[in-house]
């Protein structure tokens, strides 16, 4: 690949690759990790079986328009990239595809959180969504109690669009669902440095 054509499935520190059937144990580890589960899943909070996490694997691989393992390069030159998380863009159903919007989801293993990898992967997936997939809007949602994710999404330029009040029951009380979105023109303005 020439220097003028960087690998489109790399960002500065990360590699994005398709999920393979051999990744099912990794997806189980990721999706059954308790804190990540609480922050990203609506299902009743309980230990997750491989049968339950297999549904996530099938969703990423068979339904999503983008469902990738977020990887670090292998340590040695010949080592395979090491998966540390997943990023996805939800399906565009054929009858709704003309609206050109999707929702993003992502999660990282705990040891790799708070190191900027989530931000880097989101920026990469936004670029893919707007420049490659030709989308118009990318939404992302966070539970009210996931304050870190909410702060991060606003920092990355997603606009707060609204809340669905007291829609989720968790830890003995009701919580809102918080919706953020980014339009292609907003993404381009940020990229061109016109908006901080």
Site residues, ligand COA (CB under 6 A): 36, 39-40, 106-108, 113-119, 142, 146, 148-149, 151-152
Q: Would you state the structure tokens that stand for residue 125, as one six-digit string? A: 């997936």
DSSP label of 147? H
Kindly state the smallest distance separating residue 78's Cβ from ligand COA, in Å: 27
Kindly state the smallest distance separating residue 95's Cβ from ligand COA, in Å: 27
Q: What is the C-alpha to C-alpha distance for residues 16 and 99, in angstroms, rounded to an integer?
A: 26
In this structure, what are the phi and psi dihedrals at residue 7, rounded to the nearest 5 degrees?
-60, 120
**CB nearest ligand COA: which residue?**
118
Select 108 or 135, whichever has its Cβ closest to ligand COA.
Answer: 108
Kindly state the smallest distance separating residue 185's Cβ from ligand COA, in Å: 24
Select 3 or 35, whichever has its Cβ closest to ligand COA.
Answer: 35
Kindly state the smallest distance separating residue 173's Cβ from ligand COA, in Å: 19
Select 31 or 184, whichever has its Cβ closest to ligand COA.
Answer: 31
Kindly state the smallest distance separating residue 51's Cβ from ligand COA, in Å: 21
Non-local CB neighbours of 65 within 8 Å, separated by 6+ positions: 89, 90, 91, 92, 102, 133
In this structure, what are the phi and psi dihedrals at residue 191, rounded to the nearest 5 degrees?
-65, -35
Q: What is the C-alpha to C-alpha distance for residues 31 and 103, in angstroms, rounded to an integer?
A: 18
Q: What is the C-alpha to C-alpha distance for residues 143 and 115, in angstroms, rounded to an integer?
A: 21
Select 50 or 119, whichever has its Cβ closest to ligand COA.
Answer: 119
Q: Would you state the structure tokens that stand for residue 130, as one six-digit string? A: 């707007």
Q: How many CB atoms lie within 10 A of CB 17?
A: 15
Q: What is the C-alpha to C-alpha distance for residues 170 and 192, in angstroms, rounded to an integer?
A: 40
Kindly state the smallest distance separating residue 5's Cβ from ligand COA, in Å: 27
């Amino acid at each position: 690949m020439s220097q003028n054509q960087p690998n489109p499935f790399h960002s500065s520190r990360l590699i994005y690759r398709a999920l393979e059937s051999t990744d099912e144990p990794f997806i189980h580890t990721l999706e059954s990790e308790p804190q990540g589960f609480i922050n990203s899943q609506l299902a009743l909070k309980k230990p997750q079986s491989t049968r339950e996490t297999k549904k996530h694997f099938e969703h990423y691989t068979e339904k999503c328009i983008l469902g990738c393992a977020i990887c670090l390069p292998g340590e040695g030159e010949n080592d395979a990239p090491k998966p540390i998380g997943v990023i996805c863009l939800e399906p565009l159903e054929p009858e709704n595809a003309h609206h050109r919007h999707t929702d993003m989801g992502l999660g990282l293993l705990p040891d790799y959180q708070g190191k900027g990898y989530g931000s880097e992967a989101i920026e990469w997936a936004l670029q893919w969504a707007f420049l490659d997939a030709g989308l118009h809007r990318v939404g992302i949602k966070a539970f009210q109690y996931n304050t870190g994710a909410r702060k991060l999404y606003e920092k990355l330029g997603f606009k707060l669009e609204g809340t669905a009040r007291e829609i989720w029951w968790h830890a003995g009380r009701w919580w809102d669902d918080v919706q953020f979105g980014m339009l292609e023109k907003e993404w381009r303005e940020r990229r061109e440095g016109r908006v901080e």
